Structure formats: C-alpha cells, structure tokens
Amino acid sequence: MPIAAVISLCLTAGLLILSFIFKAAGKIRLTIPILCFLLFSTVLNKWAGEHETLAFIILFSMLGLTMLSWIVSLIKAIRRKRDEKYLEDDVAWQIRRAREMGVPLDKILFNEHGDLLDPRTGEPVVYGEGVQFKGI
C-alpha cells in the first residue's frame, strides 16, 4: 500500500508541475515549442536522434517565431501607449482652446472623431468647417 501511495503522489505532483508549465507557457506563447520538445524527447526520440539537426532547426525556428511575436506585441503596445498619450494631449488642448474661446464646459461631449462639441450648438469647437482659430 505505501508503494501505491508514493506512486500516486509522484504522479499527482508531476501532473501538477506539468500543468503549471503549460499554464506559464500559454501566457508567454511557448506551448507549441514545449510540446514539440516533449514529443522529441519522448515519443519521437528515435526520429529526433536520427535527424538531430532537423529537430534542432524545428525547435529553434519555433522559438524564433515566438520571439518575433513578442517583438510585434511590444511594438503594438508601444504604439498604443503613444496613441493614448497623443489623444490625452489633444483632448487637453481642445479643452484649453474651448476655455479661451468662452465655450461653457459644464457638459463636455466628444464626437466619434475626437472633436470637442459645443454643448449649445453641438458643433465642433476647435476642429471642423467654419471654426475660427484664435491665435494658432
């Protein structure tokens, strides 16, 4: 009975560790390379030994693609932050210009283009046709 308990405990601990590995791998997009590595080291061991160079090329190309996806995600995150900063600065500038022009700012509304609308007329305050730009 104690041998069965030890085997069961080891199997449970191993599956728990494997579960954590795959959860972390999913977060950092390494699930497919880890699965490939596990296949090459277990089920496809004989094939991987016979075609070692090809197996390494496959693994390293998967890791390279994963790193490329990380770089693309980083570039997208940087662009998103830059765009958010641009929009915040633009909104602040529009509100400042509206104050200078004497527009009441009790009910601030923006349209789908990001233009500040005059609450009295519903027309864009700073941008748009027929808007008088003061001292720009």
- Are 124 and 115 in contact by the 8 Å Cβ rule? The answer is yes
Residue 79 structure tokens: 């662009």
| pLDDT the model gives residue 76 | 97
* Residue type (1 letter), 96: R
For residues 73-85, b (16+ Cβ closer than 10 Å) or e, as one string? Answer: eeeeeeeeeeeee
Phi, psi of 71 (to 5 degrees): -65, -45
pLDDT attached to residue 105: 82
- pLDDT for 48: 94
Q: Given this model, what pLDDT does residue 136 score?
A: 47
**Cβ-Cβ contacts under 8 Å for 31 (sequence gap 6 or more):** 22, 25
pLDDT value, residue 39: 93
pLDDT in tens, the chain (136 residues): 689 899 999 999 999 998 998 899 889 999 999 999 989 999 999 999 999 999 999 999 999 999 999 999 999 999 999 999 998 998 888 888 888 888 888 888 888 888 888 888 888 887 755 555 544 4
> For residue 128, what pLDDT is reported?
58
State pTM to two decimals: 0.65
Residue 116: enclosing H or E segment and its boundaries? Answer: strand 116-117
**What is the predicted pLDDT for the residue at 134?**
45
For helices 31-41 and 2-27, what crossing angle results, to 10°? 140
Rounded to whole angstroms, the Cα distance separating 93 from 81 reads 18
Domain ranges of the chain: 2-117
